Every structure is written in C-alpha cells, then in structure tokens.
Structure 1
Amino acid sequence: MIETGLVRKPTEKHPTAFQATQLTPTTFLIKEYDDIYSEHPFIYVKIVAQANLVVVIDTGCGGASSNSNIHDIGLREFIEMVDIDVNDGKPLNREGKMNYTVVITHCHYDHILGVEQFSDSTILASSRDFPFLLPSALPDSSLCKGMGIHTPSYISTLVPHLYSIPECAVLILHTPGHTPDEVAIYDSAEKMLYVGDSVYEDEDIIISNQGSITEWLASITVLISLVNAENQKQDSGVIREVLINAGHCTAGKPALEVLKAGKAFMLDVINRKEPIRKRAVIWGEENVYYRQERGRFSLRCPARLVLGTA
C-alpha cells in the first residue's frame, strides 16, 4: 500500500497524466495521455474481487509530464488514491487493499517505467528469451540506455507459453515479433485480448532491431486461431466476440478483424506491394517506413528484415 497521506491529491485544476475509462464490468483502460516521452501508453487494470487481486497489464511511463498543470503522481498512486467516476466515484484499489499481479507485455521503457512502484507484488514476464531480460541486458533491451533514462530495477517471474494466472481465467501467451519477449494476455471470462505492441492502428507498428517479422507473423497467426475458436463459443446461449486491446491507440475493437487486417498489411509489405515511404537510422540501424494509403496501418522495421540487406 502507498502512504497516500504524503501525496497531495489531484484536483480538477491539477489532474494527473492518467485517465481511466471502463471497458468491461471488471476491466479499466488507463491512458497515460500526457507523458514526457509522448508515448501515450495504454495500461489495463482488471479487478478480480473474489481473489482480492488487481491484475495490471503494463505500467506505462511513470506518470511524469512536462505540463505544469499536471499533478505528478505514479500509476500505483493513481490506482489507489484517485476517485474514478466510472468506478462509482472510488479509486480502483482504495488504499491498496487488494494485492497486485503485474504482467509486462514486453520490456520497452514505455511499458516498465512504473514497475518499481509494484516491487512488493508479483511481476510476470516472458520466459522465452531469458538473456534479453537479464539485469545486465535490460538497459539496452528496454531502450532506457539509449534514451539516457533510469532503467527500472525489478524482479520478475518468467512464465512459459500458455501460462495461466492461478487466481483468474487469464492466460499469458508468448507472441514474439515486436521484441523477443512480447506476450499477449487473454481474459477468457471477459473475452478480452491484450496484445501489447504487436499490432495497433493509426501509429507505426514497430518491429524492433531485436525483433522478427517471421516471428511476428507466426504470433499473429496463433492469435487469429485463438480468436476464431473463442468467437465460436457460447456464453449462456449468446456468442460474444473477442475484443482487442493494444499498448497504444487501439482498444475495445473486434479482435479478429484487426488481427487479419494487420497481418494482410504486413504480407503486402513483405511481398513489395507497399512502397517504402521513408528511411532513417534508428538505434544505430537503417529502418524503413511503410504506411497504407488511407493510413490505418503503418510499419517501421529494420531494412534487412524486408529487403535482405543491413
């Protein structure tokens, strides 16, 4: 629990860098809409009341804003002390009375800069590429070193593919591509799929310098199969469609359509049906940019992944 008495509570004149909306009866989207890095990450909070548990998916950029009108508090403080209109005017986890399980979709800085606030909690991450997440590797893997910012120090439990969080019907899947450690999270009770930075709309999908388009395509194919199967299941005689929630931009949309459309765009890139819009050196390597004519999907990736050259 955070000692809220030491923190000045936000007001309408001095709001926080976070805004919360409700996605399902148990799940909330927290948008870090005004962070100092202009990343605007999406953070998800699921309340599992029967298990006295709050599941947090990613922790964002830490809550700092360059706007002097923004009250500088962290994600955990926001969850525990800020009244949320769509939660009956109460904080999501008042005074930290419920425990936390934090799932990190991948280790890039805009998903982990708030994780130290949950150092007393269970933190889950992918076991697929253990060296990528070693403390000695994390400054580079997280991009914190390149950004010249503090690399969070935290201890995570590395979980296998198809790991189920014991207290709830939430499944963690290894979905490498964007990064080697990317995971997706599927909440079968609410039929909500969380995909981190694997796919979203209206901003560049990024395959990092350590990523792989081949692995990305395989991961998206796995998710399409999962969603296809789940979309056929009935709940009390009613079929509910799985919705997709990404680390940026996209939330609460039909998962199957977004996944299929994103995959089709990536295949067009690979098959040279999409022209290169721009080239730039990113983190020491030439990257190429693609964007659909109408702009729904776009991509930035190392040139060697699509052109066969460094």
Structure 2
Amino acid sequence: MLSLAEFVVWVVGVSVLVFVFIPIRGHRGPLDDEESELEPGELLPYTPPPAEPQAKRSAFKAYRLTNTTFLIIEVDDIYSEHPYIYAKLVPEADTILLLDTGCGGASSDRTVEITSLRAFLERVPVAENGGRPINDGARMRYVVALSHCHYDHIRRSPPRRALPPILTMPGLVGVEQFACDSPVLQSAHSPAFVARDALPANSLCTALGIRTPQFASVLIPHNTMLTSVSGVPLGMTLLHTPGHTPDEVALWDAHDLMLYVGDTVYEWEPIIFPAQGDISVWFATIDQLEAVVMSSRLPEAVRINCGHRTVTRPALEVLRAARQFVSDILTGNVEVRWRRWRRGEWHVDYRQEGGQFSVRCPERLVEEARHQRRLSI
C-alpha cells in the first residue's frame, strides 16, 4: 500500500508526463516541433528520400595517374583500338590539357549511353576523383593537343541509337567537341600532312569510310612549353617526334617525370606504321626521347605513357627495348610473320618472341630503313 505522501508524488509525476508528451487541443507541448502546423492526431506527411541518379553507362573509364593527371580509356570501341587519352588538370590555369580525343561513340556495347568524351569529363562521376566528374560542372576550360592525326585519336563515330544530345553532342565528331571553344594543338613539323585537304587520307578516315573531323588547329613548334589561353604554363613541353607519322608529338612533364608519346611506341599490340611513316626518322625520335629522359633529375624514375596499352612503365626500359627490337628487324634477326597486299603495296608483320613488341608496316619502309642504315655505315 502506498502512503499518502507516496500517492501524492505519483499523481504529480503522471500529471507532468501527460502535460509534456500528450498534446492538448489548442495548446503545444514543450517537445512539439515549433514549426509544425499539425492538429493533434494528424500524421506527418511521408517524404521519400531523393532518388540517387542512375549512373549512365559510358564508353570511357578514367584512372588517376598522378595528383593532377588522369588516364581515360575508350574501353570497347568497334574499331578495337581502345585508345588512351590523357587529361592533366591545371587548377591555377583553370584549364584541362587533353592529349587526344579518341575514336569512341560507336561502342560494341549497345547499352552505352554516354558516347561524348566531353560529356564524360563533365558529367560522369569518377571513383578516383572522389566520385566527382573530372571537370565537375564544366568549370575548367580545355586545351587539346593531338599526338597525331589518325582517326582513333581525333574522332568520334555517330551513335547507333537516339540518345539525349547532351550525352552525344550530335553533329560534332571527336575533337570538334572541343574545337568549338578551345584551342587544338598540332605539330608544326609537317604542315602539309595535317592540312585540311590532306586530313581525310592521312587520318585514315577515307580508308575506313568514316567522316573526317573539321577543325582549325594551331601548329606548335618543337620544344614549346604549353600554356593556357590566358598564358598560364600548363607544365608540359610539346616535342616533335616524327617517324610513326610526320605529325607525331610527345608531351614531357618534367615536374611529374611523365613522358606521353602517343603511338611512337607501345607494348603488347602492333606498332602500325602508315605509308607516310619513316623508320629511320623513328630511330632518331627514340634517341631524342631517351635524351630527354636522361636530362631529367631522376632518369630511372621517368614513366612512359603511350597511345595504347602501355602506361606508367619505366621510360628508359621501354624505349631501349623497342629500339633493339626494330633494329633486330632491320638486321634480319626477326622473321616476317606474314606479308599481305594492302592499299597498293605489300605490308609485313613482325612479332617479338613473347609478344612485348610487334611492328606492322609497308614492307617498303623496312627496305628504305635498311638502305639508310647501309649508307650510314
């Protein structure tokens, strides 16, 4: 049995609880939400959480190479080129320097929705960029350098199905997505090779029956430090590296010890010299690139990054091994795997045992290089 005093305390306690937690019509309890307009007994409306936007499938994937540079791979193009594209972010210049623009848009994966490189850069979250697009909100401008003018580095094929314009940028092919508002840089080594009337043939677009991009470019001299539109240095030096093609260039990042060489050399796929290639000149380019590496503060730390397959490999190792393999071809120490008649002349294919290096080119280029070597002895 409760004593009278205990009973009084119990009644007072219950009264306090009722006052605090049970609303009285026309009055508000001290724990009520001061912003609520609900009457007693009325339920709060249910507001579902905002849906996460569904990630759209893209023709590209991106991976961080350095604090400022990303590798972008076109993973499943119908040409089986899988070109490597590089994007260096330079916040102090409010600029992204792109090396090449790929050949994507016609993916073997029919579920791909984003076929525009520019849309990928500005709209697709990248895990290694903190889940943000590389150019989030399109805040940074672009400068585009073309390693050379072959189709798999400058164009984009039209999509095979209707997609939103922001994802495909219809009517704009590859580098055209950027040329409309950004400078496009090419080698000044052979202006005739990259002239507008020569581009359809020299880009190989004519041979493939695909549209050639139309764009204006700035021809850059050898050994030029690149800058933004406003003149801020971008931390890259453009080098003329002819041989694979007359217009081939490399970019040298002396700060990050990164060398970007386009299609001059790469591993595990054939290095394909077109009819306008020159193997003797290619040897001179390899020597030049090795000299650049050796002049750096840490030659053994320099990494080479190529237009296909090879990325962040020791530069000296790759350059020297490639030179030795092509030299072995000229001395007859590598057998021809096949000879085929293509585009009006015989083409040959050489492959190193193990497959690290292989070369495919007009047989004429090999014979010309052998002749030049005999003359130099």
TM over 0.5, shorter chain: yes
> Equivalents in 2 of 1:111, 1:227: separation in Å?
25
Q: Which residue is 1:303 aligned to?
A: 363
RCO greater where, 1 or 2, for CA within 8 Å and sep 6 or more?
A: 1
Letter in 2 for 1:211: G
Q: Tell whether 2:234 aligns with 1:172.
A: no
Correspondence for 2:213 among 152, 156, 161: 152
> Equivalents in 1 of 2:108, 2:310: separation in Å?
25
Task: Tell me if the contact between 1:191 and 1:240 (Cα under 8 Å) persists in the aligned partners.
Answer: no
Please list every run of at least 4 consecutive aligned residues from structure 1 whose deviation after the TM superposition is greater than 3 angstroms. Answer: 9-12
Q: Which residue is 2:149 aligned to?
A: 107
Task: Tell me if the contact between 2:58 and 2:115 (Cα under 8 Å) persists in the aligned partners.
Answer: yes
Instruction: Look up the SS of the partner of 1:268 in the other structure.
Output: helix
Task: Tell me if the contact between 1:243 and 1:255 (Cα under 8 Å) persists in the aligned partners.
Answer: yes
- Alignment of structure 1 residues 1-310 onto 2, 5 Å: 11=54, 14-113=56-155, 114-119=174-179, 120-166=181-227, 167-230=233-296, 233=297, 241-308=301-368
Structure 1 regions of 5+ residues with no counterpart?
1-8
Instruction: Look up the SS of the partner of 2:353 in the other structure.
Output: coil
Distance 1:268 1:85, change over 3 A: same
Structure 2 regions of 5+ residues with no counterpart?
1-51, 156-173, 228-232, 371-377
Quick check: which one's strand share is greater? 1
CA deviations over 1:24-56 (Å, ceiling 9, x no partner): 000000000111211100000000011101000
Q: Which residue is 1:4 aligned to?
A: none
Task: Tell me if the contact between 2:97 and 2:234 (Cα under 8 Å) persists in the aligned partners.
Answer: no
> Equivalents in 1 of 2:314, 2:54: separation in Å?
35
1:141 is displaced (CA, Å) by: 0.6
Which structure has the larger Rg? 2
> Equivalents in 2 of 1:10, 1:141: separation in Å?
42
Q: Which residue is 2:170 aligned to?
A: none
Instruction: Look up the SS of the partner of 1:251 in the other structure.
Output: coil
1:282 is displaced (CA, Å) by: 3.1
With 59-68 and 72-81 compared, the bigger mean Cα shift is at 59-68
Distance 1:95 1:240, change over 3 A: farther
Report the TM-score when normalising by structure 1: 0.91
> Equivalents in 2 of 1:242, 1:11: separation in Å?
40
CA deviations over 1:216-259 (Å, ceiling 9, x no partner): 000010001111121xx16xxxx871100000000011111000
State, as a whole percentage, how many aligned pairs show the same letter: 49
CA deviations over 1:160-194 (Å, ceiling 9, x no partner): 11011022221000000111100011011211100
> Equivalents in 1 of 2:311, 2:125: separation in Å?
22
Q: Which residue is 2:39 aligned to?
A: none
> Equivalents in 1 of 2:175, 2:344: separation in Å?
27
> Equivalents in 1 of 2:280, 2:295: separation in Å?
23
Q: Which residue is 1:5 aligned to?
A: none
> Equivalents in 2 of 1:289, 1:250: separation in Å?
20
Distance 1:10 1:215, change over 3 A: farther
Letter in 1 for 2:213: P
Root-mean-square deviation (CA, aligned residues, Å) is 1.7
Letter in 2 for 1:126: S
> Equivalents in 1 of 2:219, 2:127: separation in Å?
35
Task: Tell me if the contact between 1:18 and 1:63 (Cα under 8 Å) persists in the aligned partners.
Answer: no
1:281 is displaced (CA, Å) by: 2.5
> Equivalents in 2 of 1:292, 1:183: separation in Å?
26
> Equivalents in 2 of 1:282, 1:185: separation in Å?
32
> Equivalents in 2 of 1:101, 1:281: separation in Å?
40
1:201 is displaced (CA, Å) by: 0.4
Q: Which residue is 2:43 aligned to?
A: none
> Equivalents in 1 of 2:78, 2:137: separation in Å?
27
How many equivalent pairs are there? 294
Distance 1:47 1:74, change over 3 A: same
1:72 is displaced (CA, Å) by: 3.7
